[in-house]
């Protein structure tokens, strides 16, 4: 399979000989003689492997470790790129530096043909694996889908994809039940940290005096009751993502402590002297307006700025009503009894759902559907059932009158819709036996038949 290789070296001879070797192997090669042109190439090409010289002369001056700076830039912009560093002054120190910056391998000059080709093959392998991995990750992420095709959700999903591949810290705001935790999970699942832990801390739930031990852990015997060494959440999240939920509900004292660790990514366990270093990506969430909390002196401004590297606002369900029918369908399916077809919802019930204010957002909608699936024995959930099972929605029904679609409908139209719903419900209750249903409704069998025909209700 033909691949694309980028060679970056200030010496023309090296560029030529490497290009010749790679082209002989059947690959396509682009080369660049300095950082600027290399970065320029990367804006239009995505090479499978990059061979990058460490020491390059900048302008006409002396040779500098220009390659390391370029490596850092490449890894920041294209984290998945596979970079092999080359150097004639192969000190361990530089090699370590390069590895820390994300270089895949390090080869010494003068280059040996054999070593170059072996490194190339390994680099290809890594490239394939990481691609496969990314596909897998995307598939996993899709299974925990965020439902919603509204403009607001499409924008949110695009932002999640963009931020997932970086290491940026994220602050998620949004009302109760809008999906803040789901967003945090999705970012983690789509990031390169996906195999590492996702650790959640509910800041509102931890008592003030336990917070240090909870976050940093404690040494055995450090206080009464500390019978064992306990690892803190920061420890547990090492390499992965730490989700600080309900961030606005911490005391100012705790906020100060958190800020220090977030800045240093280092801490000591309670009662311990050893300093523990961690690499943790922080995602925080709150349903409060942090700007207001800051004004009221309940939230530290410096902590806000530290966390708010990339802000995310999850829109309320009211702002994206067009997603409601999709969510309903999704949850009708999720809660359906295994082996049976998912229930559906009548048009009038759907309208009620679409017009309700949903103060509890997606969580409230999800719980409502679950309840309806359990309590209704109809295959199509009717408005009547919804009103019976979910009193909150019933109370909101007066609001519907203000809605265009219902207001503009005649009384006759509304009545016949209700009638249709009612007939379907009774038919369902009577196993679709028309005679029995007619008796239950107190009308003639022929009359019921006629109505069914008029309403387009088919016998089952
Ligand atoms: N877009 C969505 N698609 C599918 N399910 C969703 C979506 N948004 C939220 N949910 C579901 O709604 C429920 C509530 O979401 P989540 O816990 O993420 O909200 P939250 O904003 O963290 O709420 P709170 O403010 O109460 O902590 C979860 O079961 C979640 O899976
Ligand atoms: Mg939450």
- Show the tokens assigned to 411: 């009384």
407 pLDDT more than 60? no
Q: Is 180 a pocket residue for ligand 1 (Cβ < 6 Å)? A: yes
Q: Do 369 and 435 belong together in one domain?
A: yes
Q: Do 163 and 307 belong together in one domain?
A: yes
CATH of the domain at 11: 3.40.50.2300
Backbone φ and ψ of 244, nearest 5°: -95, 100
CA of residue 317 to ligand 1 center, whole Å: 11
Residue 156 in any domain: the answer is yes
**Which of these three, 258, 293, 313, is where a domain ends?**
313
Report cis status (omega within 30 of 0) of the bond before 449.
no
Q: Do 165 and 304 belong together in one domain?
A: yes
C-alpha to C-alpha distance for 75 and 104, rounded to whole angstroms: 11
pLDDT at 458: 81
Q: Is 213 a pocket residue for ligand 1 (Cβ < 6 Å)? A: no
Rounded mean pLDDT, 423-451: 87
Q: Is 441 a pocket residue for ligand 1 (Cβ < 6 Å)? A: no
Using one digit for the tens of pLDDT, what is the confidence trace for 234-245? 888 989 999 999
Residue 365 in any domain: the answer is yes
pLDDT at 400: 45
Using one digit for the tens of pLDDT, what is the confidence trace for 38-48? 999 998 888 99
Rounded mean pLDDT, 368-391: 88
C-alpha to C-alpha distance for 330 and 369, rounded to whole angstroms: 10
Strands 105-108 and 83-87, sheet pairing = parallel
- CA 91 to each of CA 88, 94, 143: distance values in angstroms, whole numbers, following the listed order: 9, 5, 47
CATH of the domain at 394: 1.10.8.60
Q: Which structural domain range is residue 401 located in? A: 321-455
Q: Are 254 and 211 in contact (CB under 8 A)?
A: yes
CATH of the domain at 309: 3.40.50.300
pLDDT at 139: 55
Q: Are 292 and 119 in contact (CB under 8 A)?
A: no
Q: Is 287 a pocket residue for ligand 1 (Cβ < 6 Å)? A: yes
CA of residue 175 to ligand 2 center, whole Å: 9
CA atoms in the 13 A half-sphere facing the CB of 243: 19
Task: Let me know the angle formed at the C-alpha of 150 by 149 and 153, rounded to the nearest 5 degrees.
Answer: 80
Q: Do 207 and 286 belong together in one domain?
A: yes
Residue 180 CA, closest ligand 1 atom number: 21
Strands 380-381 and 344-345, sheet pairing = parallel
CA of residue 189 to ligand 1 center, whole Å: 16
C-alpha to C-alpha distance for 364 and 257, rounded to whole angstroms: 35
Q: Do 112 and 216 belong together in one domain?
A: no
CA of residue 189 to ligand 2 center, whole Å: 17
Residue 64 in any domain: the answer is yes
**How much is the mean pLDDT over the chain?**
86
CA of residue 319 to ligand 2 center, whole Å: 19
Which residue has better confidence, 286 or 457?
286
Rounded mean pLDDT, 424-445: 86
Residue 172 CA, closest ligand 1 atom number: 21
Q: Do 15 and 58 belong together in one domain?
A: yes
Q: Confidence class of residue 413 from pLDDT cuts 50, 70 and 90?
A: confident
Using one digit for the tens of pLDDT, what is the confidence trace for 55-89? 887 766 677 788 999 999 999 888 888 999 998 87
Q: Are 382 and 422 in contact (CB under 8 A)?
A: yes
C-alpha to C-alpha distance for 438 and 427, rounded to whole angstroms: 9
Q: Do 184 and 289 belong together in one domain?
A: yes
Task: Let me know the angle formed at the C-alpha of 168 by 281 and 47, rounded to the nearest 5 degrees.
Answer: 110
Q: Is 47 a pocket residue for ligand 1 (Cβ < 6 Å)? A: no
Strand partners, 202: 245
CA of residue 247 to ligand 1 center, whole Å: 17
**Which of these three, 78, 110, 136, is where a domain ends?**
136
Q: Is 178 a pocket residue for ligand 1 (Cβ < 6 Å)? A: yes
Residue 460 in any domain: the answer is no
Query: Any residues with CB less than 8 A from the CB of 261 and at least 6 apart, and which?
Result: 215, 216, 234, 267
- CA 435 to each of CA 257, 424, 439, 441, 448: distance values in angstroms, whole numbers, following the listed order: 73, 14, 6, 10, 9
Q: Confidence class of residue 404 from pLDDT cuts 50, 70 and 90?
A: very low
Using one digit for the tens of pLDDT, what is the confidence trace for 260-278? 888 887 878 888 888 888 8
142 pLDDT more than 60? no
Q: Are 344 and 380 in contact (CB under 8 A)?
A: yes
C-alpha to C-alpha distance for 396 and 359, rounded to whole angstroms: 12
C-alpha to C-alpha distance for 232 and 226, rounded to whole angstroms: 13
Q: Is 146 a pocket residue for ligand 1 (Cβ < 6 Å)? A: yes
Which residue has the CA at smallest separation from atom 28 of ligand 1?
A: 363
CA of residue 370 to ligand 1 center, whole Å: 15
pLDDT at 295: 95
Residue 183 CA, closest ligand 1 atom number: 18
Residue 285 CA, closest ligand 1 atom number: 22
Query: Any residues with CB less than 8 A from the CB of 358 and at least 6 apart, and which?
Result: 316, 317, 318, 324, 364, 365
**Percent of all residues in the chain with a pLDDT value above 70, rounded to a whole number:** 93
> How many folded domains does the chain comprise?
3
**Which of these three, 290, 313, 336, is where a domain ends?**
313
pLDDT at 399: 44
Q: Do 156 and 264 belong together in one domain?
A: yes
Q: Is 362 a pocket residue for ligand 1 (Cβ < 6 Å)? A: yes
Q: Model pTM greater than 0.75?
A: no
Q: Do 71 and 211 belong together in one domain?
A: no
C-alpha to C-alpha distance for 313 and 241, rounded to whole angstroms: 19
Closest to 384 measured CA to CA, from 343, 337, 338, 417: 417
134 pLDDT more than 80? no
For a substitution probing ligand 1, which of 146, 171, 173, 177 has the most ligand atoms within 8 Å of its CB? Answer: 177
CA of residue 374 to ligand 2 center, whole Å: 25
Q: Do 88 and 237 belong together in one domain?
A: no
Q: Do 182 and 285 belong together in one domain?
A: yes
Q: Do 270 and 179 belong together in one domain?
A: yes
**Percent of all residues in the chain with a pLDDT value above 90, rounded to a whole number:** 45
């Amino acid at each position: 399979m033909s691949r694309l290789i980028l060679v970056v070296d200030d010496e023309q001879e090296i560029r030529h000989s490497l290009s010749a070797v790679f082209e002989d192997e059947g690959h396509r090669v682009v080369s660049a003689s300095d950082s600027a042109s290399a970065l320029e190439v990367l804006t239009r090409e995505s090479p499978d492997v990059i061979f990058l010289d460490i020491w390059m002369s900048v302008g006409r001056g002396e040779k500098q470790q220009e390659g390391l700076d370029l490596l850092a830039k490449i890894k920041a912009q294209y984290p998945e790129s596979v970079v092999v560093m080359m150097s004639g002054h192969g000190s361990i120190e530089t090699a370590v530096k390069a590895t820390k910056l994300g270089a895949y391998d390090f080869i010494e000059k003068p280059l040996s043909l054999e070593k170059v080709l072996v490194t190339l093959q390994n680099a290809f392998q890594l490239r394939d694996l990481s691609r496969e991995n990314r596909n897998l990750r995307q598939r996993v992420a899709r299974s925990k889908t965020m439902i919603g095709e509204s403009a607001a959700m499409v924008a949110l999903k695009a932002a999640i994809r963009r931020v997932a591949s970086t290491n940026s810290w994220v602050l998620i705001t949004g009302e109760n039940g809008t999906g803040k935790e789901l967003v945090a999970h999705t970012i983690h699942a789509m990031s390169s940290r996906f195999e590492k832990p996702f650790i959640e801390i509910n800041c509102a739930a931890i008592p003030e005096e336990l917070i240090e031990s909870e976050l940093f852990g404690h040494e055995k015997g450090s206080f009464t009751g500390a019978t064992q060494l306990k690892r803190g959440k920061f420890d547990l999240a090492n390499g992965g993502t730490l989700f600080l939920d309900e961030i606005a509900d911490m005391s100012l004292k705790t906020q100060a402590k958190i800020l220090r660790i977030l800045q240093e990514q280092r801490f000591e366990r309670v009662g311990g002297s050893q300093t523990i270093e961690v690499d943790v990506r922080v995602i925080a969430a709150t349903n409060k307006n942090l700007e207001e909390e800051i004004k009221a002196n309940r939230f530290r401004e410096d902590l806000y700025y530290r966390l708010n590297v990339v802000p995310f606002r999850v829109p309320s369900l009211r702002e994206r009503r067009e997603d409601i029918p999709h969510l309903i369908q999704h949850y009708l399916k999720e809660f359906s009894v295994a082996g049976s077809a998912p229930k559906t919802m009548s048009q009038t019930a759907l309208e009620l759902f679409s017009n309700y204010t949903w103060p509890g957002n997606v969580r409230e909608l999800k719980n409502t559907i679950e309840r309806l699936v359990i309590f209704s024995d109809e295959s199509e959930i009717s408005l009547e059932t919804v009103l019976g099972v979910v009193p909150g929605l019933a109370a909101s029904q007066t609001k519907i009158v203000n809605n265009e679609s219902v207001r503009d409908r005649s009384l006759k139209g509304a009545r016949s819709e209700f009638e249709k719903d009612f007939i379907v419900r009774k038919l369902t209750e009577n196993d679709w036996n028309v005679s029995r249903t007619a008796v239950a409704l107190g009308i003639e069998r022929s009359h019921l038949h006629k109505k069914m025909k008029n309403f387009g209700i088919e016998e089952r």
